[in-house]
Every structure is written in C-alpha cells, then in structure tokens.
Structure 1
Amino acid sequence: MPWSENSGPNGLFTPLESFSVLKEHEYTMMTHPLFSKYSVRIKKSDFCDPTVNVYTGYIDIEARHLFFYFFESRNDPAKDDVIFWTNGGPGCSSSLGLFFELGPCRVLDDSGAKIHPESWSTNANIFFVDQPIGVGFSYADYGESVATSEEAAKDIASFVAIFFENFSQFKGRAFHMAGESYGGRYVPLFASAVYDQNTELIQNGLTPINLTSVMIGNGLTDRYTMFTAYYEMTCTAASLPPVINIGTCVAMKQTLSRCEKWTRESCIEQYDSINCGAAADFCATTISLPYRLTGLNPYDISIPCRGGPSDLCYPETKYIRQFLDDPAVRTKIGVDPSAMTNFTSCNSDVNLAFGLAQDSLHSETPTYVSALLERGVRVLIYVGDLDWICNWIGNEKWTLALDWTGKAEFASEPLREWTIDGKRAGRTRSAGKFAFATVEGAGHMVPYNKPKESLQMVQRWLAGEGF
C-alpha cells in the first residue's frame, strides 16, 4: 500500500507543515516512514540576517549527522525557488559559501557577520549543507565516514525528500542544486539521486521534488580535460599572459600527449585503479606542479597565495573560523556538543579518504549531466576566468564534448559576450537547457570576487532568462 500523508507504520504521518512550529532553544524532529534510517533536527536560529527567518539543524542518518543552514528568501519565501548549496574539497565546509561568498552575511574581518546585499537569498530560499560526514559541524557517533560521492548522494536525496514532505509550503516549488569546485562531481550525482528518487516518491503517493536545474561553479566535473587546460592557462594568454617560464612550458607540452594517452587508456576506456592512480600522479607532477611552485594563488592566477594552508590562500577565512569557534555563536545555531572541536574550513581526513577511494578519477560524471539534460533538468556551468585549478578552458572542453541530443547545436554556438548594465560580465554559449558562462575577473569563488555579477547571473537563471 502506498504511503500517504496520513499513513505509516502506525497508520499516521503528520508533517510539520509550517516553520512557525519551530522553536529557538530546542530542536524539532522531522521524520518520514519512507526513510526509516533518516531524521532531521531543525530549530529557529536568530543570527546572521535579522531581516529573514533562519533555521539550522542536523540530518541524522543513524550514527552520522550532517549540519545545515537554511535561510528564507529576502523577497517572497512563500513563492520563491529553493536552492541547495554545497562547497567542494572534498571535505570543505559550506560555511565558506555562506560566510565568504553567496550567503546573506559575510565574515571577512574580526567584527563578525555583516549583511551581504548581493546574497543569492535575495530571490531564493537557500540551504548550505556541511557534507559529507566530518565536514564543518557534521560528525559521526562512532567514527563512521563516507568516502564516495555515490554514498553522499543517498544521504542528500533522503534529506531533501524529508524536508519537502514535512514543510508542505515548499511542495512542488522549483528546486535547484548548486555547488562549487568538487561540487562539479557532487552535484550531478546528488541531483541524479533526487531525480531517480522521485519514482519511489510517486509510487508511494508522495509529491515528487521539482528538480528544475543544476548550477556548477568552477567545477571539477571532468578531471581529464583539466590536464591540457593547465598548460593552456599557464603557458598561453588564455586569460592572462603566461605565468610560467618558457623552458618549463616546453617540458609540460612534451609530456601532455603521454599524460592524455595514459589517462584515456587506464581511467576512461577501461578503469584500472592502479594504472589510473599512477597516470593521475604523473599528470599532477608534470602538468600541475609547475604552477604550484610559482607561489601564485591556485584559485586566482592574478594574485599570490597569501596566508597558510588552512587559509586556502585567503587570510580572511581565518575570521570565519574564529566566528564559528565562538561558543555563543555555536549555541545560537545549535551545534551539537559532539561536534565541539575547533572549526576547520576543510577536513584533510575526508579529503584523503576520497582520494584513496579515487572518487575524482571516475570519468562518468559528465554522463550524469547529460542524463539530467535528457530528462529536462536545466544545467548551468559558470566559471571565473582567472581560476587555475578548475579553470574555464577545461570546463569549456568537456561541455563541448558532452554527448547529449543538443550537442551539435551547443557546439555550433560561438562564445558571445553577456553584459550587466551595458558592461561585459563574461562570455557565454547555450543551447536548449544547457548553458556555459564565464565571469570576467573572477577566480575560483565567483560570488566572492564578483558578487553583483554572480547574483544577476543567478537571478536570470532562476527566471529562465538567457544571458
């Protein structure tokens, strides 16, 4: 017998219906009988943006617990779309996206959180999720961990379903899944899991998630197109004049064909974990290492790397750590005592686990993108043109090569300028439900470098307008 809103193991499922039932000083539990291993703790949290309602909580998967923030739209929360956001790493907290990039407040100095007028919450309700386990304020009871994007996708899809089922005002609302950097690997899998889960929801008499689009910023969706792109970014005037000396560039050029051949044979045509890992190490040493030795910021080729490794080359991020280590802030947002360790922007253990699992070396991620396009889900790939590590050249290469029914039309479109207030903001091409856009003068973290441009880009995208 299908589940319904009034059925369950005991013949009863009562959704929470409205955020008005949530309390500020204690969690309210959300469950659903279709997801017996999952529950969600959520509370009202009066912090960061006093102009909107803010909620925080945990996605509980038995002994694993994922922390999240949810901000209502500044415009019309009862009607505006919903955005899911994750940062990458793997292992980096979405607090970076929240407090450094696109959130409703930023923490860029020691004076705490300040309102961010160009937040993506201007016209959308938005989640920021610390995933997988071990990232940010997420934690496990007994050392459990997640080391693949496929595992992480199951948890996110279940959380999304529980949320929409409990808060009926969002049912059927347009839902967009977005992420940055390693989010280029995460988001296609997460969105596919949400889409496929809809079949089960419908079979059980529930409302499917209205998955409308995917947005990936400076993503590592296809690792292999980045190898040749690293040469072009550093040894040609693709974005800025060459930044590596001629002798090194000649040596890089001579190794490119071997790098491409080895990865194609051992990672793409027939996956062999030992040979694929060796090929990736070879390419990283010969193609990536020369840039890292320059001392330039891997996220912005126009500036040097500043600060220590924990600062991600941006010393401002230390203020986010200080802010989130404040006991008063942790109490206000409801951080579980089990997660009361010092906050870290990126968890090296999670990163290492994904590396050992060779999660990024699987070549099928673009196929998830094409599958979403074939099912009517819109896809936006946007890239700051000064980023080195997940650069626009590599992202353009894989979007042009992507096999889908609109491939020929997309590839035939020349890059053209897109503008804001009559000024060039970047270049773009699109066909059908697929769009590619660069953001001029932005690095890896587009909303940080170009907040006005990134907000207008997202607003146009949510409205279904072209660039």
Structure 2
Amino acid sequence: MSFERPPPRLPPNPYYDTPPTSSETQYVPLTPVNASTSQANSEFFTPLETLSNVKDLEFSVLGHPFFPRHSVRIKKSNFCDPTVNAYTGYIDIQARHLFFYFFESRNDPDTDDVIFWTNGGPGCSSSMGLFMELGPCRVLDESGPKFHPESWNTNANIFFIDQPIGVGFSYAEYGETVSTTEEAAQDIAAFVAIFFEHFTKFRGRSFHMAGESYAGRYLPLFASAIYDQNAALNAAGMTPINLTSVMIGNGFTEGVIMLPSYYDMACTPASLEPILDISTCVAMKNVIPRCEKWINEACVDQYDSINCLAASSFCAHMFYDSFFVSGMNPYDISTPCNGSFLTSSCYPATLSIADFLSQSDVRAQLGVDSAVPVDFSSCNDDVSTAFGITQDLLRASTSKFYVSALLERGVRVLLYVGSYDWSCNWVGIERWSKALEWSGQDAFISQALRDWTIDGKRVGATRSAKGLTFATVEGAGHLVPYNKPKESLMLVQRWIAGMEL
C-alpha cells in the first residue's frame, strides 16, 4: 500500500494554543496575537467563490492563511441524488485527513440553512446517517442506493463528516490519531470556517450542528469551538459562522444522571412493558445507589482516572450485561436484535452499506484515497479504544456545561429522542435536561410536557423554554430518522424555521 507524502509541517498556528499534553487539558481557540497581520493575510486570500468552480474529475484544493495547518480537497460527485449537486472530499490537517460528503438543498441551496451531521461511537462513520437515516439516498439492502424522499436536504444544505481520524474513509499517515473530543473539535471548527470563506454565498447563513448517540459528547464541544473561534475570525476580518442551533438525537451527554434510567426503561413501563425478569430488575435496582455514589465521587466531584474507570466498569457490567442477556435490541426495545450486535449493531443494513462503500467504482466516484483500507467498516474499534484510553467517555458529563454555555449565548439546543431506545433513552435525557443549570432552568422545568403533532396525530411529547427543547418521537429507536423519516424531517423543518414543535 502506497502513501502520499504529507504536506510539510508548518509553524504552529498563532491563533490556537498548543495541543493538550493530557486528557484533561482544554484545546481552545485564542485571540489572534496580531490582528493587523491577520487582516493583511486575509487580503491575499482568493476564495473559490462558488461550488460550480469545483472540479468533477479531480480535487480542487482550498486553503486559507488563517489556518496554515488545514486545507480542504473537494470534488463534485454525481451520485445518490440526481436532483441536487453533491460533493465529497477531505479536510487535510497535515498528516490527518477527514472525509466528508456535502449535498445541496433540494429546495433553494442559495438561501436555505446549512446542517452539519456526525454519527457517534466514538468511532462510527457518518455514512450510517447518510445511507441509513437522513441522507438523500438510502442503502438498506444489496440492491444499492434508493432515492430517499424524506431526506434532511429537502430544505437544507447538509454535510456528513467521517470523524475522528480512522473513521470511515478518513485516514492518517505516520500513525497520527485523535483520541479526545477536544482535539477533534478544532479540526471541525477550522474546516467549517475554510468552507464558508471559500463559498461566499454561505457566509452568514444559519448553521446547525446535528448528530446522534456519542454526538451528545461531540456536538456541545464542536459547537463551542466554532462559537469561540468567531472572535478570532472577526479580528482577522473574516465572516463569523452564524451558529444558530445544535440538534442532539438520542445523545450521550450526561452519564451519571442517566444511570437509573437503564433500570426504568427495562424494568418499568416507561415506554413498553418490562422486558427483563424480576430477579434481574431487583439486582439492577439494588446497585443504582452504589453506582451513583461511586461514579459521582470518582468521576465528577474529583476526577480520579483509576477509580472512575473501576466504577464505570462495574456499573456497565451490572446494567449492560444484564440487558444483553435478554436478546433484545438495545437501540430499539420493541424488537429482538436482528443479526449480530458485534458485526451489525442489530441492523443488517449496516452490512449492505459497508458492501456498497467497498466497491471500487463507488470509491473512485467519491474520490476515496488509496491509503484507505479496501474493506469499508462502519465503526472502527481502534478509534473507540483510543477514546477509551484517554477516558473521553468518562469525562462526558462535562459536556452539559458546554450545553449551558451555548444556551447562555443564544444558541438554541434541541434534544430529540426515540421512545424505544434503551442505550440513550428518553427517561435519562429528560432528567438531565431538567437538571441542567443555566439561566433558563426554572422556565424550562415549569413547562409541562405537551403533545406535539403532525396532521393532528400525536407524534411525541415536548417541553421548551428559552432556547432549549426536549422532544420524544414515539415508536422510534436510537436511529430516529431511520424509524420515523417523515416525523424526523418535520421535526427538523420546524426547528430550523424557528417554529414551536
């Protein structure tokens, strides 16, 4: 296997602090050290201006003097949805390369909002969101892609990102990796800024960040990095990103408060009749106080990496192992696991997607680099392990503070959740949303859950105040757009239009 030589290493970007030396160091944007120099650099920048200037047989390369360590390769890729223009490419961060898809809106790409989508894991490709859930085409079996009428690009331009490095079609040379959400956030923030600077029609356009599952950890930090970067962009004479909202689907954002909800979902009629036997439920119930106390002391009150890992491992065994014995799908408790959880996450469609994206003609059309392994994998266990080693998951409870900070700065946040999901369930997400400390907490808690409807039919329950909205989608599991495509599209359309559900 041959590797392209990576671009030469440039001096550190003066607009960012040095990378973290430990998992607890925050990697955050700084104010430019010399705003006049930044302005001068921007004056020598020539944007590509319009996506029509992007090539279709080879990559166009985008860069910006404000981000000397980052560049973007992009090409037109005519696949999936013949009604819109589609583009694919890489975000190049020296020896690291993140793959992305971009689809224009089916409605009006020149005026419609822009949505960024990432799947979770950590370590799972956003091709799952694209080809299984909310993209303009779906690959659900061996027959290949089919037009998807309820795609989220019905009224929005949309990105799908394979991140971090090693996920999907993303790759790196010389063993470089990303193993914390903080580090991943800076690459995403730089990419978004470069894209908006080059394609000027998107400047100032409302920008929404969305995702599911471990994206509940990713998105609060990604959005905060973009928001904080805006001050530096302003000082450099660049257009700030109009970060409007964050949409978290069945997100893992606050693990401690969610802990008892695993019992509630499996052992009480929170959504369906109890699915675990009485003796198992009693054992789970008995361990809840111990786990809450231990995890709070070891992971929250004073972070102790060894003790936190021990507490989390013990409690995961008590809850997860007990559930998996049932044979039910942890992402949809209304059905048994279809196939193998380890190979297909109980959804055989993931194998069909992997087969499709392993085809040489598909990869050539997308511009997949030859350094990427031939056999596509929807999730990368090595990436998941790397995030485990840095204990990124165990520090996920800090993500709620980023949610609070975004709300205080006028960035709206939507927490939507399928009612049949066990792994990141509605009971736990509602609990932490009500416990979230911010200036709108009292107003949010005071609102009773109310029905939201489509065509007069109840779709779920919702609560909203001061920019924070919680909403369930009845009959959906972990993958809301997969189970309820019409309802999820209506949810997003109302949300980006600023309407009440």
Q: Same fold (TM over 0.5)?
A: yes
Compute the TM-score of the two structures, normalised by the length of structure 2: 0.92
Tell me if structure 2 keeps the 8 A contact 1:310–1:345: no
Cα distance in 2, alignment partners of residues 63 and 254 from structure 1: 49
State the partner residue of 1:157: 189
Tell me if structure 1 keeps the 8 A contact 2:38–2:236: no
Give the match's secondary structure for 1:145. Answer: coil
Tell me if structure 2 keeps the 8 A contact 1:102–1:120: yes
State the partner residue of 2:3: none
State the partner residue of 1:193: 225
Cα distance in 2, alignment partners of residues 231 and 340 from structure 1: 40
Give the match's secondary structure for 2:379. Answer: coil
* Of 355, 368, 376, the match for 1:343: 376
Cα distance in 2, alignment partners of residues 436 and 290 from structure 1: 29
State the partner residue of 1:32: 64
Q: 1:366-423 deviations in whole A, cap 9, x for unaligned? A: 0000000000000000000000000001100110000010101101111111000111
> Is 1:44 the counterpart of 2:76 in the alignment?
yes
State the partner residue of 1:380: 414
In the TM superposition, structure 1's runs of 4+ consecutive aligned residues that sit over 2 Å from their partners are: 1-9
Cα distance in 1, alignment partners of residues 175 and 346 from structure 2: 30
State the shift of 1:4 in Å. 9.4
Q: 1:199-245 deviations in whole A, cap 9, x for unaligned? A: 10011111100000000000001111221000100010000010111
* Of 293, 296, 301, the match for 2:325: 293
Tell me if structure 2 keeps the 8 A contact 1:6–1:14: no
Cα distance in 1, alignment partners of residues 183 and 136 from structure 2: 30
State the partner residue of 1:429: 463
Q: CA RMSD in A?
A: 1.2
In percent, how many aligned pairs have the same letter?
A: 65
State the shift of 1:332 in Å. 0.4
* Of 466, 490, 494, the match for 1:456: 490
CA change 1:34–1:261 in 2 (3 A) is: same
State the partner residue of 1:358: 391
State the partner residue of 1:331: 364
State the shift of 1:341 in Å. 2.6
Cα distance in 1, alignment partners of residues 180 and 304 from structure 2: 17
**Gapped regions of structure 2 (runs ≥ 5):** 1-33
Tell me if structure 1 keeps the 8 A contact 2:263–2:284: yes
Cα distance in 2, alignment partners of residues 191 and 8 from structure 1: 26
State the shift of 1:3 in Å. 6.7
State the partner residue of 2:432: 398
**Gapped regions of structure 1 (runs ≥ 5):** none
State the partner residue of 1:127: 159
Tell me if structure 1 keeps the 8 A contact 2:39–2:235: no
Cα distance in 2, alignment partners of residues 458 and 291 from structure 1: 32
Tell me if structure 1 keeps the 8 A contact 2:258–2:432: no
Give the match's secondary structure for 1:208. Answer: coil
Give the match's secondary structure for 1:8. Answer: helix
Q: Which amino acid in the other structure matches residue 64 of structure 1?
A: R
Give the match's secondary structure for 2:190. Answer: helix
Compute the TM-score of the two structures, normalised by the length of structure 1: 0.98
State the partner residue of 1:233: 265
Which segment drifts farther, 355-364 or 453-462?
A: 355-364
Q: How many residues align?
A: 466
Give the match's secondary structure for 2:41. Answer: coil
1:41-80 superposed matches below 5 A: 41-80=73-112
Which segment drifts farther, 371-380 or 277-286?
A: 277-286
